Amino acid sequence: MNKRSFSSRWAFIIACVGSAVGMANVWGFPYKLGTNGGGAFLLIYLFFIVLFSYVGLSAEYAIGRRAKTGTLGSYEYAWKSRGLGTVGKIIGWLPLAGSLCIAIGYAVIISYVLKALAQAIDGSLMSVDTNTWFESFALTPYSVVPFHFIVVAGTLFTLFFGAHSIEKTNKIMMPLFFILFAVLAVKVATLPGSGAGYKFLFTPDFGKLTDPMVWISAMGQAFFSLSITGSGMIVYGAYLPKNEDVVSAAKNTAFFDTLAAMVAALVMIPAVFAYHTDPAAGPGLLFVTLPK
């Protein structure tokens, strides 16, 4: 992969936010926030976001920058200080395997998104029942193969040109994400019944603070949302210059990742209540509720 660095500090942060923001933000966080005490869950979640960004995320940036290589080389470098470089390299395959599994799932989901975009452009999506529409291809083998091919080809093309290409892609995609969800949040706020969604999200149940499962849920959500131990942040760290403040970079990545989760929650959950659907619907939040 081309080792050309990112053009600026903010270009690096935007790329990292692009890596961190995903389905955990769009449908995982809104549901967990609403069902685990609302504002109480948010406080716990923010605590873990701050903790993991300052400790875990900054450490991944740092080891990537120090090793100046990918995940396998970074793990080998870290373990070599104990004379266990080979062991570290073997362990490094674990986050790579996890990232591969996640990427396979994301490729299918993005294929669904492209299919929805194509049908929105030709107008056919506007006249269908989104419940049966989603099931018509989600439960049908090979239904999105052409779109899947486009996703894989586009991803490989972007990665082939390294940091410069990733930077350009994220400079377009991340602002579009925030603009789109901000517009949707305003639109959803005008829907009858959406007020119950805001109440569901933000009414604090401080009794949840003593529930260990709520703490575990918030911790897991923060861990996954920041993409810690997923290998991607180590790879991005390899592009950081020596004079870059890794703690500051981690802090900014965490801030925008959390902002993305909150904006998504302000769209998804009020829409669920406005259209009387299930807040635990998972992919249905994106492909059934949102198109309505």
Does residue 79 sit within a domain?
yes
What is the model's pLDDT at position 101? 87
With vertex at residue 89, the alpha carbon angle to CA 157 and CA 53, rounded to the nearest 5 degrees, is 70
Mean pLDDT is lowest, of 167-181, 228-242, 247-261, for: 228-242
pLDDT computed for residue 196 by the predictor: 87
Determine, yes or no, domain membership for 4: no
Q: What is the mean pLDDT of residues 147-162?
A: 88
- Give me the pLDDT at residue 1, please: 43
Residue whose entry in the numeric block shows the structure tokens 């080979």: 86
Question: Is residue 66 situated within a structural domain?
Answer: yes
Number of alpha carbons in the 13 Å side-chain half-sphere of residue 163:
21
- Asked if pLDDT for residue 285 goes beyond 60, the answer is yes
| pLDDT at residue 14 greater than cutoff 60 | yes
Q: What is the pLDDT of residue 2?
A: 45
1 within a domain of the structure (yes/no): no
Name the band, by pLDDT with cuts 50, 70 and 90, for residue 4.
low
Contact 24, 221 (CB under 8 A): yes
The structural domain count of the chain equals 1
Short-list 274, 273, 268, CA closest to 287: 268
Q: Return the pLDDT at 280.
A: 63
The domain in which residue 22 lies consists of 9-289
Between 189 and 205, the more confident residue is: 189
Would 239 be classed as within a structural domain? yes
Mean pLDDT score, 193-208: 84
Does residue 24 have a pLDDT over 90? no
Q: Is residue 31 part of a domain?
A: yes
Q: pLDDT-derived band of residue 123, with 50, 70 and 90 as boundaries?
A: confident
The answer to whether residue 2 is domain-embedded is no
Question: How far apart (Å, rounded) are the C-alpha atoms in residues 59 and 196?
Answer: 41
What mean pLDDT value characterizes the chain?
85
Mean pLDDT of 9-25: 85
d(CA 89, CA 95): 11
Tell whether the torsion through CA atoms of 54, 59, 61 and 66 is positive or negative: positive
- Residue 228 contacts by C-beta under 8 Å, 6 or more apart in sequence? 52, 56, 57, 60
User: For a pLDDT cut of 90, what percent of the chain falls above it?
Assistant: 23
Residue 193 belongs to some domain of the structure: yes
Q: What is the pLDDT of residue 252?
A: 92
